[in-house]
Structure 1
């Protein structure tokens, strides 16, 4: 038997697994035709993957959250929680779940649908829980948008109208509120949609320190409305557009038969948004918004300036009236990896009717913000807004508009 044959046999045995490098072997000798081959195998160390500490698991979890997994999962959720703050609610703890999904996971053209579930509780006694989202059907031919929220909060109140908001002494009350809003839209022309809307709003105020500010109105009202909505929407992604135009006209009627304040009321809402990439990782966005109520709308239905979308930094409801118009423009810039920043400027006005609009009562607004990408193009935002003798922090999910 030749040396070549012995070597070939040994290699074949190794390849077939007769000799496994993963096991310890004793030194042995093969003898053939006075030829001796010695072989010794040293076992390989079977190393285990090191266990990750809690901090490392958190980093990895959010590190993978921006990967688009909507083609693999029915719904791709990311959970987050931590401290929260706003001018209205003070410091608190908030938790949220942001999800993306596709009705048809074989459709790579239609943008994903989105849903956000949130809850918040603060040291001021405020608490809320809610859900909002946009359900996009295959081919973007149909969509359902919805919001449902319950909140209980201590509120400040200055009365109704610009001058009361500007000069009245602040009063307090506690508010319980249930809000539900849903719309269905169907594409009738490219990027053009027509559909219907339904809304329900129950609000109750208690413990008013200055009941006279209500001007004789009741402390609780229910508003149930139905209406039509027409939209033009070429945005590339609703929660965080990089390009496109969005124009919405919404007309809602609150029939007397549904128990709305003893009379039939109307509300018109108009929105016009514009998004344009200006240089690498930068988007210029603009927003024009108006809400106009018919005469006789109760204090719970009036337009309230402030909060987390428009006129950021103003206390929600300090300036309240039948009608409101706001405008803002914002520059959004991705800075590094998942971190971005924004600057914005704008103005707003509340007024009882068009013939009583006054330019000198227009209020300024500007601010800066920080963005962190929680999921693919779904941002957590921290804003600091300034206004006329006011300022405040806001922490929220998704872009302001």
Structure 2
């Protein structure tokens, strides 16, 4: 009889209780994960440019009219974001375009159920919580709220906006400020990108940013426990051209020979900035793609050189630096497109100050005829046409400028 009671007790009482407790534990774990925004890897927060997408029609309204209230409100917001957060033009254009999408940039906007309100449709006490709190229904108060959150509870937004282009700035704001998935159709990605492109033109938002200047309460703590690490990305300087030099330059040696089709074998390209010496900004060498430093070494041919394994699996070589110290990155460092990595020089077999640039799509091998070597003119999309007579070749040419679109392919 006692055994029967024990079995009944387990089956009828303890087992159901245990199942309920397990279910509640699972439910709380899911909720905590959602509130934290899921796991986040902030080691890669810089993005290659992707603003050339054909975006279609944008969001209408009177915001393009400089005399309209909406235009003036957007201009005030843009000025605050620039002056107080040091956001880039792309960052600001993204924030303004999303404000247009969410509310037509109307600080009095409120959804029918009253659960979200304001320019960026904050939760106002319903299912989304109460982020809005005692914020006033005007532009100044709501922009101040946005800035406060971007410095504290939603700092992950700025972490992912740092050095991001327009497309990825939109994604960073939507995912980390609005709280929607990157693939969510309510983002209206195509229409919002078109709007952001137009916003950038109308408000003349063509400038870089400096988001490392963040200050304020909990400025380094991002939503979900992620960390705003200023070492994740390089400063927003350098070049966005995708070339290893900046400003006025010549191509002084071609591929696969110095003259491109004949002469001494030369499985790389020589870039020489006009007036460059072995130090100073004019001699800077820049990474052409995101990647990680593979080696930093010296050899009799290339002199002091650095090899980077790019995120696309290729390897790029930058040779002839004046010294090991003039290569300003080290083995294992993460580098980003446009980051200053070295200086032009003439160590090894070199005449005149320049950087020897090589590309191998398979392995870190740059000796003549190594398997996987390709022409830098084919790999770099913005080498001027004049220097690329045909596929697989480059020839000495110039001078060119990294700022002149008319010279680019």
Q: Aligning the two structures, in what range does the TM-score lie when normalised by the shorter sequence?
A: under 0.3
Q: Pick the structure with greater CA Rg.
A: 1
- TM-score of the superposition, structure 1-length normalised? 0.19
Name whichever structure is richer in strand by fraction. 1
| RCO higher in structure (CA 8 A, sep ≥6) | 2
